[in-house]
Amino acid sequence: GDAQLYYHLQLVLEGKSLRDEEALQLLPVGTTATLYFKDLGPQIGWTMVFLIEYTGPLFIYFAFYFRMPFIYGLDDRFPSSRHPVVNLACICHSFHYIKRLIETIFVHRFSHGTMPLRNIVKNCFYYWGFAAWLAYYINHPLYTPPSYGQKQVNLALIMFLTCEAGNFSIHVALSNLRRDGKRSKTSKIPYPTKNPFTWLFYFVSCPNYTYELGTWIGFTIMTQCVPVGLFTFLCFIQMSVWAKDKHSTYIREFKDYPSLRMSIIPFLL
């Protein structure tokens, strides 16, 4: 088929790109204006980005869970059976990424159509690499179960499932703000709905990230695995950056934005 060109329009050479919905006759210029085209290079749609990013961890984890001989080798010291928490961790990890894939296809509405193709390599290295690292230790034949046994696992599972439900509820609520088309550009203030999981909107601008963080904290407690804890910490840093950026955008766009809200952690951050 024909190749597609992706570019941004700018009024000033080093200025901010114009939004797709801006009309030329409404721009703050005189009777003449010079528009600068910026070649964005190869791009990939956001739906495809997420499908690639999330499918990888799903199948990479299975390779470790089924203990492929080329990964762990064969050793008489290795027990043949798995600890129940290892099975539970696989179910939870798989559930998390299957949920993400379902949301990508049926829930998310993207305001920006594409991202640079080179970014997909970096993102996949992050998601796929960490999935392999986590899976290697959690599914290792010599894996040591949590210190406090089933009570610790049960508490972590409740936290994990609660935060997964909350994360899904927020994504649905945000999607409903963009009912007028999958790529609607209309920006609105998200407010709590009748769903109790959305009440976190009273306190933070990005409760989807708050719940995502809670999900991985729960998974860390469940597996008691250092690589999972490190992944959770890096996720917290990255999501905090995204949340603070989104929070600043809301404050800039809406004069009546609720003053009680923080970015990601109620009353703190």
Q: What was the pLDDT predicted at 21?
A: 54
Flag whether 143 is in a domain.
yes
Question: Cα(262)–Cα(14) distance, rounded to whole angstroms?
Answer: 32
Residues 176 and 55 in one domain: yes
Residues 23 and 113 in one domain: no
> Please, which pLDDT band fits residue 68 given cuts at 50, 70 and 90?
confident
Cβ-proximal residues to 216 (8 Å cutoff; 6+ apart), any chain: 228, 231, 232, 235
Residues 156 and 220 in one domain: yes
Q: What was the pLDDT predicted at 108?
A: 81
Flag whether 267 is in a domain.
no
Flag whether 268 is in a domain.
no
Q: Is the pLDDT of residue 47 over 70?
A: yes
Flag whether 206 is in a domain.
yes
Flag whether 262 is in a domain.
no
Radius of gyration of the chain from its Cα atoms, rounded to whole angstroms: 22
- Where does residue 223 fall: left (phi above 0), alpha (psi -120 to 50 degrees), or beta otherwise? alpha
Flag whether 259 is in a domain.
no
The proportion of the chain whose per-residue pLDDT surpasses 70, expressed as a percent, equals 79
Q: What was the pLDDT predicted at 128?
A: 96
Between residues 61 and 37, which one has the greater pLDDT?
Answer: 61
Instruction: List the alpha helices (DSSP H) in the chain.
Output: 46-65, 69-72, 84-106, 117-138, 149-176, 207-223, 226-253
**What is the residue range of 17's domain?**
1-41
Residues 25 and 129 in one domain: no
Residues 15 and 101 in one domain: no
What is the pTM assigned to this prediction? 0.83
* pLDDT tens per residue, range 194-250: 999 999 999 999 999 999 999 999 999 999 999 999 999 999 999 999 999 999 999
**Which of 34-48, 75-89, 170-184, 206-220 is the most confident on average?**
206-220
Q: Is the pLDDT of residue 145 over 90?
A: yes
CA 104 to centroid of chain Cα atoms = 10
Domains in the chain, number? 2
Flag whether 1 is in a domain.
yes
Residues 175 and 248 in one domain: yes
Residues 5 and 104 in one domain: no
Residues 30 and 161 in one domain: no
Q: What was the pLDDT predicted at 10?
A: 47
Question: Cα(231)–Cα(33) distance, rounded to whole angstroms?
Answer: 48
Q: 23 by DSSP, 3-state: which?
A: coil
Specify the DSSP element, H or E, that contains 7: strand 7-10
Residues 174 and 233 in one domain: yes
Q: What is the mean pLDDT of residues 124-145?
A: 94
Question: Cα(44)–Cα(207) distance, rounded to whole angstroms?
Answer: 27
Residues 87 and 207 in one domain: yes
Question: Cα(217)–Cα(223) distance, rounded to whole angstroms?
Answer: 10
Flag whether 194 is in a domain.
yes
Residues 129 and 24 in one domain: no
Residues 169 and 224 in one domain: yes
Residue tagged 């999330």 (tokens): 54
